[in-house]
Structure 1
Amino acid sequence: MQALRAEDPEHLGGHRLLARLGAGGMGVVYLARTGEGTPVALKVIRAEYAADPAFRARFRREVRLATGLTGRWVVAVTAADTEAREPWLATAFVPGPSLAEAVDGLGQLPASAVVTLGARLAETLGELHAVDLVHRDVKPGNILLVPDGPRLIDFGIAKGAGATALTAPDAVVGTPGYLSPEQTRTRGGEVGPASDLFSLGCVLAYAATGRRPFGTGEAPAVLYRTVHEPPDPTGLDQLPPSLRTVIDACLAKDPALRPSAAEVRAALTDEQRKNDSLLPMPDWLPPAVLRLVAERSARALDPPPRTAGPEPLNMPSVKGSSRRRMLAIGSSAAAALAASGTGAAVLLTRGHTATTGSHRTLPTHTLALHADLTGTQKSLGQAQERGARLAVAAHNARASSGYRLALTSYDDGGDPARARETARRIVAARSVSAVVGPSTTTGARAAAPLYAAASLPVVLVSADDDGLTTTELRTLCVTRASGSSRTLPVLFYLTRSRPSSRTAIIQDRAAGETAADIVRNLVETPPAGGTVTVHQVAAVKADFGPVVAQALAAGPQAVVYGGTSPRRAAACARALAGARFAGAAVGFEPVMRAEFLTTAGPAAEGWVLEAPYTQAQSEHTAAARAFTAAYRTRYGVPPGQWSAEAYDAVGLIARAIDALGTNGTIEPAQVAERLFHTSYAGVAKPIRFEPGATHAMDPANTAFLYQVKDGAFRFLGRYDQVG
Structure 2
Amino acid sequence: MRELTAEHPETIGGRRLLARLGAGGMGVVYLARGRGGQLEALKVIRAEHAADDRFRARFAREARLAARVRGRWVVRVTGSDTDAQAPWLATEFVPGPTLAEAVAGHGPLPLGSLLTLGQRTAEALADVHEAGLVHRDVKPGNIVLGQDGPHLIDFGIVRGGGATALTAPDAVLGTPGYLSPEQTRAYGDDVGPASDVFALGCVLVYAASARPPFGSGDPAAVLYRTVYEEPDTSGLDRMPAPARTAVVRCLAKDPEARPTAAELRDILDRARTRPDPRSALVEGTTSSGHEARTGPDSTAQGWLPLPVLRMVAAHATRALDPPLRTAAPATDTTAAEGTPAPSRRRILTIAGAAGATFAVGGAGALFLAARGGSDADPRRGPALHSIGLHAVGREQERGARLAVDAHNSRSDAPFRLALRTAHAGERAVSAARRLLADTSVCAVIGPTSATDVRAVMSLYGDAYTPMLLVSAPANAKDLSGNRALCVTRIGDDSLGLPLSVYLTQAHRSRRTAVIEDGAGGAPASELARMVRELPPGNGTTTRHTIAADATDFGPVVAEAVKTKPDAVVYAGTSPGRAASCARSLARADFEGARVSIEPVMRAEFLDAAAEAADGWVFAAPYSEPRSMTTQRARAFTTSYRGRFGAAPGRWSAEARDAVELVARTLDALGDGFDITPGQVADRLFRIPTDGVAKPLRFDSTGATHTLDPSNTAFLYGAADGRFRFLGRYDQVARPFERALPQG
TM-score of the pair, normalised by structure 2: 0.71
Please, which of 652, 663, 678 is the counterpart of residue 669 of structure 1?
Answer: 678
Give the conservation status (yes or no) of the 8 Å contact 2:516–2:528: yes
Equivalent position amino acid for 1:393 in 2 = D
Distance in 2 of aligned mates of 1:552 and 1:319: 57
Please, which of 485, 493, 513 is the counterpart of residue 502 of structure 2?
Answer: 493
Equivalent position amino acid for 1:403 in 2 = F
Q: Is 1:314 the counterpart of 2:374 in the alignment?
A: no
- Quote the sequence identity (%): 44
Give the conservation status (yes or no) of the 8 Å contact 2:470–2:651: yes
Give the conservation status (yes or no) of the 8 Å contact 1:202–1:247: no
Distance in 1 of aligned mates of 2:224 and 2:320: 37
Distance in 2 of aligned mates of 1:612 and 1:552: 29
- Structure 2 counterpart SS, 1:705: strand
Q: Is 1:568 the counterpart of 2:603 in the alignment?
A: no
Structural mapping, 1:674-713, within 5 Å: 674-693=683-702, 694-713=704-723
- Structure 1 counterpart SS, 2:480: coil
Give the conservation status (yes or no) of the 8 Å contact 1:28–1:43: yes
The corresponding residue for 1:653 is: 662
Change (3 A) 1:399 1:95: farther
**Cα drift, residue 510 of structure 1:** 3.6
Change (3 A) 1:144 1:399: farther
Distance in 2 of aligned mates of 1:186 and 1:680: 26
Change (3 A) 1:74 1:313: same
Distance in 1 of aligned mates of 2:503 and 2:594: 10
Give the conservation status (yes or no) of the 8 Å contact 1:537–1:544: yes
- Structure 2 counterpart SS, 1:678: coil
Equivalent position amino acid for 1:43 in 2 = I
The corresponding residue for 1:434 is: 443
**Cα drift, residue 440 of structure 1:** 2.0
Distance in 2 of aligned mates of 1:672 and 1:103: 25
**Cα drift, residue 75 of structure 1:** 4.4
Please, which of 593, 599, 607 is the counterpart of residue 598 of structure 1?
Answer: 607
> CA-to-partner distance for each residue in 1:593-614, whole Å, 9 max, x for gaps?
1111111111112222221111
Q: Is 1:393 the counterpart of 2:391 in the alignment?
A: no
Change (3 A) 1:675 1:130: closer
Equivalent position amino acid for 1:366 in 2 = S
The corresponding residue for 1:721 is: 731
Distance in 2 of aligned mates of 1:535 and 1:200: 32
Distance in 1 of aligned mates of 2:195 and 2:538: 45
Q: Is 1:626 the counterpart of 2:641 in the alignment?
A: no
Change (3 A) 1:714 1:302: same
Higher relative contact order (CA 8 A, sep 6+): 2
Distance in 2 of aligned mates of 1:712 and 1:450: 40
> CA-to-partner distance for each residue in 1:231-280, whole Å, 9 max, x for gaps?
796xx99xxx99x999989965546584459789998984375759999x
The corresponding residue for 1:342 is: none
Please, which of 80, 90, 93 is the counterpart of residue 92 of structure 1?
Answer: 90
Change (3 A) 1:139 1:357: closer
Equivalent position amino acid for 2:583 in 1 = R
Structural mapping, 1:370-389, within 5 Å: 370-371=390-391, 373=392, 381-389=393-401
The corresponding residue for 1:291 is: 318
The corresponding residue for 2:336 is: none
The corresponding residue for 2:66 is: 66
Structural mapping, 1:191-340, within 5 Å: 192=193, 195=196, 199=200, 202=203, 216-222=216-222, 228-230=230-232, 253-254=249-250, 256=259, 258-260=264-266, 270-271=297-298, 273=300, 285-287=312-314, 290-291=317-318, 294-295=321-322, 298=325, 302-303=329-330, 306-307=341-342, 309=346, 311=348, 312-314=351-353
The corresponding residue for 2:164 is: 166
> CA-to-partner distance for each residue in 1:507-534, whole Å, 9 max, x for gaps?
4344355444434443444434555454
**Cα drift, residue 468 of structure 1:** 4.0
Please, which of 545, 550, 555 is the counterpart of residue 554 of structure 2?
Answer: 545
- Structure 2 counterpart SS, 1:542: coil
Give the conservation status (yes or no) of the 8 Å contact 1:656–1:675: yes
Change (3 A) 1:580 1:449: same
Q: Where does structure 2 lack aligned partners over 5 or more consecutive residues?
A: 251-257, 274-293, 333-340, 360-366, 734-743
Distance in 1 of aligned mates of 2:577 and 2:137: 45
- Structure 2 counterpart SS, 1:480: coil
Equivalent position amino acid for 1:271 in 2 = S
Distance in 2 of aligned mates of 1:412 and 1:197: 48
Equivalent position amino acid for 1:59 in 2 = F
Which deviates the most, 187-196 or 456-465? Answer: 187-196
Equivalent position amino acid for 2:175 in 1 = T
Distance in 2 of aligned mates of 1:144 and 1:556: 52
Distance in 2 of aligned mates of 1:524 and 1:201: 23
Distance in 2 of aligned mates of 1:247 and 1:502: 44
> CA-to-partner distance for each residue in 1:351-382, whole Å, 9 max, x for gaps?
x99756999453222222224x3xxxxxxx43
> CA-to-partner distance for each residue in 1:603-636, whole Å, 9 max, x for gaps?
1122222211111222233332333343344444
- Structure 2 counterpart SS, 1:455: coil
Which deviates the most, 177-186 or 423-432? Answer: 177-186
Give the conservation status (yes or no) of the 8 Å contact 2:369–2:417: no
Structural mapping, 1:449-468, within 5 Å: 449-466=458-475, 468=477
- Structure 2 counterpart SS, 1:470: helix
Give the conservation status (yes or no) of the 8 Å contact 1:139–1:178: yes
Give the conservation status (yes or no) of the 8 Å contact 1:644–1:684: yes
Give the conservation status (yes or no) of the 8 Å contact 2:467–2:486: yes
Change (3 A) 1:45 1:391: closer
> CA-to-partner distance for each residue in 1:66-95, whole Å, 9 max, x for gaps?
3334667634253445xx7x9975433778
Structural mapping, 1:599-618, within 5 Å: 599-618=608-627
> CA-to-partner distance for each residue in 1:38-59, whole Å, 9 max, x for gaps?
996553775798565xx67753
Distance in 2 of aligned mates of 1:120 and 1:300: 42
Change (3 A) 1:710 1:459: same
**Cα drift, residue 549 of structure 1:** 4.0
Distance in 2 of aligned mates of 1:231 and 1:406: 53
Give the conservation status (yes or no) of the 8 Å contact 1:570–1:600: yes
Give the conservation status (yes or no) of the 8 Å contact 2:79–2:91: no
Change (3 A) 1:540 1:676: same
Distance in 2 of aligned mates of 1:619 and 1:667: 36
For these two proteins, the number of residue pairs brought into alignment is: 666
**Cα drift, residue 450 of structure 1:** 3.4
Which deviates the most, 146-155 or 503-512? Answer: 146-155
> CA-to-partner distance for each residue in 1:370-419, whole Å, 9 max, x for gaps?
24x3xxxxxxx4322332233233333434322222456789989xxx55
**Cα drift, residue 458 of structure 1:** 1.0
Give the conservation status (yes or no) of the 8 Å contact 1:608–1:705: yes
> CA-to-partner distance for each residue in 1:124-165, whole Å, 9 max, x for gaps?
6675466565544344655689999997544355467xx346
